[in-house]
Chains A and B, each alone.
Chain A
Amino acid sequence: MPYLNISHFWGVVVSSRSYADFTPEKVDLHRLEEGPPLTSTLTREDGLKYYRTMQTIRRMELKADQLYKQKIIRGFCHLYDGQEACAVGIEGGITLSDHLITAYRAHGYTLTRGGTVREIMAELTGRREGIAKGKGGSMHMYTKNFYGGNGIVGAQVPLGAGVALACKYLGTDQLCVSLYGDGAANQGQIFETYNMASLWKLPIIFICENNQYGMGTSVERASASTEYYKRGDFIPGLRVDGMDVLCVREATKFAADHCRSGKGPILMELQTYRYHGHSMSDPGVSYRTREEIQEVRSKSDPISMLKDRMLSNNMASVEELKEIDIEVRKEIEDAAQFATTDPEPPLDDLCSHIYANEKSFEVRGATPWTKLTSHS
């Protein structure tokens, strides 16, 4: 096909969507004179990159689902499929030298923040080569400038403010993105953080990933105000469609500029949706209908939206995208294979890194006479 010789193909894309289920059609603003631009330019390169990353996240989550059901992954597993546009879009608006922290639905962010699929899957199966040496599991994955992966919801937001303070203090131009969900938005510590961040003008972007359900509770039943972007009160806020990767990217760019110009914190609400239940032990259909899930999948699936856009604007061919799909599948397969065959961490590691100390000390094991050594 002749267009393959052209390295950049500019397409102008209108970033707002036109279907009413996910209101609003345009960006909603709170205490902001103007918001992010309503049009966005997507280069072919970026488009393919976003497509590949989102597809990787999607396939990785589905693979994790499969492995969990085969009991190769144990413990807790919270899947991110449906919300890929958030992770990829946010990363598109910031750089890898910026900081990010989120709650437990973290696999997507681990990937966009520099983790590899191999490391992530090995961590899920609890193996040596996992990104947290097999000791963290699904909820505790970390990479450079990515502070996890946190179990207790709401607790990560004040942490993010601290990271932002460090950025400001050290005089770097970096900022911190602190994510939380619609359920956690009702935690007291988040409001404490709003106050501190605003008072000290910290370069922090608060992002509420509103996937409509806090575990099994819909937003109307949990929150007096479901306009999470206004919850910051004195903090300016904006609400965008979280299923559209370009919306998210533009909003994040806008928010990042806001922070970097020294204006202080800003709050973003991303309206998104998760296809799976809250975790692997939740079928996800007792508090919402299958029809609803199907509707979102057919009308606003992030990967399909991007694919349609790219195809309709002749930015890529069907075969090309199919090829990416095949490559992604292979990558995931290899990673899953690696994750199941890599050995588990050695017993010596069980008690390591409890404290930081110069010399090792003994830790009582499961019985009074078994001792394990804690290395640091």
Chain B
Amino acid sequence: MAASARLLFRGAGLKAYTANVNSGAQSSFGTTLLRLSPNCSSQTKTQIKHASHFTYHPDPVPTMYGPTTKMNLFQSVTSALDNTLASDPTAVIFGEDVAFGGVFRCTVGLRDKYGKDRVFNTPLCEQGIVGFGIGAAAAGATAIAEIQFADYIYPAFDQIVNEAAKYRYRSGNLFDCGNLTIRAPWGCVGHGSLYHSQSPEAFFAHCPGIKIVIPRGPVQCKGLLLSCIEDHNPCIFFEPKILYRAAVEQVPTEAYTIPLSQAEVLQEGSDVTLVAWGTQIHVLREVVSMAQEKLGVSCELIDLQTILPWDTETVCKSVAKTGRLLISHEAPVTGGFAAEISSTVQTPVHTLNQTDSNLSTMAKTRELCKDIRDKIVDQHKAGMGYRTIGQQLGEKATTVGAIIRKWKKFKKTVNLPQSGAPCKFSPRGASVIMRKVRDQPRTIHRTWSVT
């Protein structure tokens, strides 16, 4: 699986950053220069087949939605559809091969339970399926259309973009097809190749009027799918096909909803924000623990969940806190959704600092990690002097002083990103450092003889 990651480093004077996940312990992430691991050479001498993998990380058992039972992803889809067909008499499910249960078993048993006029097959015609769905939704039925693979959704692109998305707007709210939900298996599966692996969310993100949702596991899947069905806008729900069987969780049997357009912070951190959706969440969970263990880096992991409209506030707030953003997705890089997120996040500082305007005048103290800064403050509160603290923690007394002064004035120890070119290193200094690191990859900042 090729994951495209966009790394954004704010306040970085150095342009050439290459990340090495295999390095030894580093003290602080901020000033550490990451080095090129020998494995990552662009000239591969031998062809090594890197088997990509991910480990599924299940969510904790939800307690607020009632009794739960063990389900995998396709079973959670069936459960959601079951709840919908039971509670909504206008609900119908249609698509290629849904009657016998679907090629991924998502609709097993529904036709027997609810009848063949509510769960039925369509012929092989995606454009027809979605067009038909729009009409059925506009006429009042809760239409749940299945496109057999997201790779096949393109014949229906015109219907989705030109008809479904604009229906409400062009009729001045007289008509709408909000009752339409389109479901499609999505994403890499390992052997899918060109036409069973695609992630087309970016194509649809360019279209106001529809919603796009991608879950990371069964609990989210059921809740988000039910939200999509309830939502009064046409929604496209992409289900990561590699997780259909692999993702097993305790899922509530009753109906419940998870709000759309709300990103979820899965893990709090202070050094870098990681954003992903679907399968990549589980890859990034591994990254988070590797980074903590091997680099001492504290990552904040966010599951975007809704791609359109996406939760800009949560992501921007997080980046304001950490100063760095990494986005991972499976689609091609150019024009992928990471490009949209990264360009939105890189707006001028004043919009990020909306909550605390006085902090924009705060000086930026030396980039020590949060733990050390907090420790300094704690020790000062305990009564230690600057010099003593400095000696204990191995920092200069002036740095300690600056941090404590900042804390006294603003009651915070954070470092917010600031505009303007930072001038920590001169270009000559930067090339000296790069040369040194290239020669001696195990260099850490303490060994500098240069200031």
Contacts and interface: CB of A to CB of B under 8 A. Distances in A.
B127 A188 contact: yes
Contacts of B121: 217, 221-222
Contacts of B19: 368-369
B40 interface: yes
B407 interface: no
Contact of A217 (B1, B97, B125, B128): B97
Interface stretch (A79-87, A148-156, A193-201, A321-329): A148-156
B123 A186 contact: yes
Given A217-B97, A365-B2, A369-B18, A347 B47 contact: yes
Contacts of B195: 139, 151-152
A367 B124 contact: no
B320 to A, nearest CB: 24
B18 to A, nearest CB: 5
B36 interface: yes
B194 A151 contact: yes
Interface in A199-215: 214-215
A369 B40 contact: yes
Interface in A338-376: 344, 346-347, 364-372
A153 B124 contact: yes
Given A222-B121, A369-B36, A346 B193 contact: no
Contacts of B97: 215-217
A137 interface: yes
Contact of A223 (B50, B100, B123): B123
Contacts of B42: 365, 369-372
Nearest to A151: B195
B124 A186 contact: yes
B52 A366 contact: yes
Contacts of B194: 140, 151
Contacts of A365: 2, 42
Nearest to A189: B155
A37 interface: no
Contact of A75 (B1, B124, B152, B193): B193
A152 B148 CA distance: 12
Interface string A158-193: 000000000000000000000000011011110000
Interface in B184-204: 191-196
Interface string A11-37: 000000000000000000000000000
Interface string A116-143: 0000000000000000000001011000
| Overall SS of chain A's interface | loop
B191 A74 contact: yes
Interface in A50-108: 74-76
B188 to A, nearest CB: 11
B171 interface: no
A183 B124 CA distance: 6
A76 B96 CA distance: 19
Contacts of B1: 366
7 smallest beta-carbon distances between A and B, as pairs:
A186-B123, A151-B195, A371-B42, A183-B124, A366-B2, A222-B123, A369-B18
Interface of A: 74-76, 137, 139-140, 151-154, 183-184, 186-189, 214-217, 221-223, 286-287, 344, 346-347, 364-372
Given A152-B195, A366-B50, 12 more contacts: A137-B193, A186-B123, A187-B125, A189-B155, A214-B124, A216-B100, A217-B97, A223-B123, A286-B100, A368-B5, A369-B19, A370-B40
28 contacts: A137-B193, A139-B195, A153-B124, A154-B124, A183-B124, A184-B124, A187-B155, A188-B155, A217-B97, A217-B121, A222-B121, A223-B123, A286-B100, A287-B100, A346-B47, A364-B4, A365-B2, A366-B1, A367-B5, A368-B4, A368-B5, A368-B7, A368-B19, A369-B18, A370-B40, A370-B42, A371-B42, A372-B42
